[in-house]
Amino acid sequence: MARYYQQDIECASREQIKALQDERLVKQVKHVYDNVPYYRNLMDEKGVKPEDIKSTDDLHKLPFITKADLREAYPTGMLAVPMKDCVEIHSTSGTTGKRVVAFYTQKDLDIWHECCARAIMAVGGDENDVVQVAYGYGLFTGGAGLDGGAHKVGCLTLPMSSGNTDRQIQFMKDLEATILCCTPSYAAYLGESLHEMGLTPDDIKLKAGIFGAEPWTEEMRRSIEKSLGIKAYDIYGLTETSGPGVAYECTAQAGMHINEDHFIAEIIDPDTGEVLPEGSKGELVFTSITKEAFPLLRYRTRDICVLSREKCPCGRTHVKMTKPMGRSDDMMIIRGVNVFPSQIETVLLEQGYTPNYRIEVDRVNNNDTLDVFVELSNEMFSDTVKEIAIKEKELASAIKTMLGISPKVHLVPAKSITRSEGKAVRVIDKRKLHD
Ligand code: DLL
């Protein structure tokens, strides 16, 4: 039987959801216009006043916010309440340029944690569960979000943070964790480590995992489910909109429900900004309609996905998003062809390889090169050099069929590719060094 944290709203009728969004949007636009001079200027430039926004049908009139705006407004330019009313901050990892700092009032934290509580209950969790939170704690939102959600549900929470893999497995076993929360790449590593420690899924009580913060494929889901003996569920979110829990999977494992009482989702054409009809693939844009401290209107996530309002067997009515294939800026253009790392992951796992791989792209004599390094399992490594060369050719050909361009495949010894405890870095694009 489906479990809910806030059934009334999770299963509200479409009319109720629309009415709530209309009312909250109108209020939110006024709040932002009155309190965020940066966004007021954007609205003034576009000639839009708060009175022009009467319902969600007027959403398209509002200007977008991009990451560049957040950088320009760093650190407090998007803050909509006095700093003294905030109780917490989180921040993006900021690999390029300035980090984004997101602020939370106590009410913002409560709502965020409720969203994460919905995610935990949607996978069958309740107060009897022991939730092992192996997302990083600190500025990253993963640890704090799922920790808050687990507390709301009343679970026993193991605040492990990421890393210290032997201790993770020891606590998982000794404290009988039932739900694991971490990145999918770390879940794969934990599964591998469990077996290396001479244990099997029968030695632990884990039943479900809530994995997100990075793109992962259906093949990766099956691989993790097998190695840990669990059901693996997706969770999505970003620092700019609070963190994990913007959307989450239910037991149907077929897309993530977006918490529409707090976020309005749109799909746009990333090139023209035009809003696309439901079912189209495009860039996801979010409007936070309940945030007090850091309320972003029409924030362009750069994540590419599809929305669907098809009826879900779990009874929830909130719109679902597909797994993002990766950010539009994760997409590599190699020899003129669009390539997402997730496409390569799909082929590797389908062909029976481990999810331990690294992709290197470079430019030699004006030609793009694509090298894929994949670990062999111990059994495969005992093959002869000739057999390994044949396997490399076969794998290269399977990747070529998927992408349309030929890679050079390198099968490397087990354990030679660095494992990830947080978000995995799969791609090294050396072309950027030459530019
Ligand atoms: O990754 C928040 C989070 C924590 C989500 C824990 C889920 C679980 P950021 O560090 O700001 O926040 O990164 C946000 O990560 O725009 C996506 O590109 C990517 N991302 C997040 N969840 C998923 C997912 C957190 N389930 C960025 N699938 C987003 C694919 C995801 N990509």
Q: Which of 265, 320, 267, 322 is nearest to 289 (CA)?
A: 265
Give the model's pLDDT for residue 335: 93
* Domain 332-434 in CATH 3.10.50.40: no
What is the structure's pLDDT at 195?
95
Q: How far is CA 348 from the centre of its chain?
A: 21
Mean pLDDT along residues 122-147? 98
Q: Which residues contact 343 (CB under 8 A, 6 or more apart)?
A: 402, 403
pLDDT classification of 378: cutoffs 50, 70, 90: confident
The predicted pLDDT at position 177 comes to 98
Provide the percentage of residues in the chain whose pLDDT is more than 90: 91
pLDDT at 27 over 70: yes
The rounded Å distance from CA 256 to ligand 1 centre is 13
Q: Edge-to-edge strand order for the sheet containing 367-375?
A: 408-412, 367-375, 357-364, 427-429
Closest CA to ligand 1's atom 15: 213
Q: Which atom of ligand 1 is nearest to the CA of 140?
A: 10
Question: Of ligand 1's atoms, which has the minimum distance to the CA of residue 235?
Answer: 26
Q: What is the percentage of the chain residues whose pLDDT exceeds 70?
A: 97
Which has more confidence, 211 or 378?
A: 211
DSSP conformation class of 324:
P
Per-residue pLDDT of 44-60, as tens digits, reads 999 999 999 999 999 99
* 165-174, 323-332, 395-404, 412-421: segment of lowest average pLDDT: 323-332
Q: Measured between alpha carbons, how far is 179 from 127 in angstroms, rounded to an integer?
A: 12
pLDDT band at 188 (very low <50, low <70, confident <90, very high): very high
| Contact between 232 and 224 (Cβ < 8 Å) | yes
How far is ligand 1, taken at its centre, from the CA of residue 425, in Å?
14
Q: How far is the CA of 163 from the centre of ligand 1 (A)?
A: 19
pLDDT of 95:
61
Residue nearest (by alpha carbon) to ligand 1 atom 21: 213
Ligand 1 pocket, residue 135 CB under 6 Å:
yes
**CB within 8 Å of 3: residues ≥ 6 apart:** 121, 122, 124, 125, 126
Q: How confident is the model at residue 97 (pLDDT cuts 50, 70, 90)?
A: low
Domain boundaries, the chain: 1-327, 332-434
What is the distance between the alpha carbons of residues 354 and 377, in angstroms, rounded to a whole number? 7
**Phi and psi, residue 283, nearest 5°:** -85, 135
**pTM for the complete prediction?**
0.96
Superfamily per CATH, domain 1-327: ANL, N-terminal domain (3.40.50.12780)
**Residue whose structure tokens are 């690999």:** 95
Ligand 1 centre to CA of 244 (Å) is 7
Q: How confident is the model at residue 433 (pLDDT cuts 50, 70, 90)?
A: low
Mean pLDDT, residues 135-149: 97
Kindly report, residue by residue over 299-324, the tens digit of the pLDDT: 999 999 999 999 999 999 999 999 99
Q: What is the mean pLDDT of residues 349-365?
A: 94
What's the pLDDT score for residue 98? Answer: 76
- Amino acid letter, 246: V
- pLDDT score at 94: 67
Residue with the two structure tokens 């009139």 = 61
394 alpha carbon – ligand 1 mean position (Å): 33
Rounded CA-CA distance 265/10 in Å is 16
Residue 242 Cα to chain centre, angstroms: 12
Cβ of residue 119 lying under 6 Å from some atom of ligand 1: no
What b/e string do you get for 64-75 counting C-beta neighbours within 10 Å, with b at 16 or more? bbebebbeebee
pLDDT band, residue 28 (cuts 50/70/90): very high
